[in-house]
Amino acid sequence: MDAALGIQIVSLAGLGQILLGVSSLIIPRILDYRRELFKLPALLRQMFITYSLYILGTNFFMGIVSIVLPEQLLDGSGLALAFSIYAALYWMSRLFIQFFYFDRAGLPSGKFFLVAEVALIILFIFLSFTYGMAVWINF
């Protein structure tokens, strides 16, 4: 693969992760977290929020690194390989969760939610492919 194309793809993946993070900020309102989470005991509610913030931070961080340092993520170094493996496994795991763990019966209905789910799945596939490609390049 042409190095310039690889850099562009990694940068685009970074942008996708930033957009995912930004769009994640409206999910609590759409899914009415305030009402739903208050049904849980305080500890579970706090753990859910903590884990959500860790995931949000991870998505933003991987996005920023991919936008700011795309050349270094493809330079064949041990760190580039480690980051690429982590990111590839992270997004492949997210795809697995989407298809084999989430209870589809609990999904909101309507065209907006269907389009949003399809867009997320396409993004998760693209991110899995991008960082899988980076693993291949760095190996």
Cα separation, 97 vs 133, in Å, equals: 21
Report domain extents, the chain: 3-138
* 45, 64, 98, 122, 139 from 78: Cα distances, Å: 38, 19, 30, 29, 9
* Count of positions (residues) in the chain: 139
8-19 pLDDT per residue, tens: 999 999 999 999
* 67, 115, 134 from 62: Cα distances, Å: 9, 25, 13
96-108 pLDDT per residue, tens: 999 999 888 877 8
Could you count the other beta carbons within 10 Å of the beta carbon of residue 41? 8
- Would you write out the chain's pLDDT as a tens digit for each of its 139 residues? 788 999 999 999 999 999 999 999 999 998 889 899 999 999 999 999 999 999 999 999 999 999 999 999 999 999 999 999 999 999 999 999 999 998 888 778 899 989 999 999 999 999 999 999 999 999 9
Residue type at position 60: F
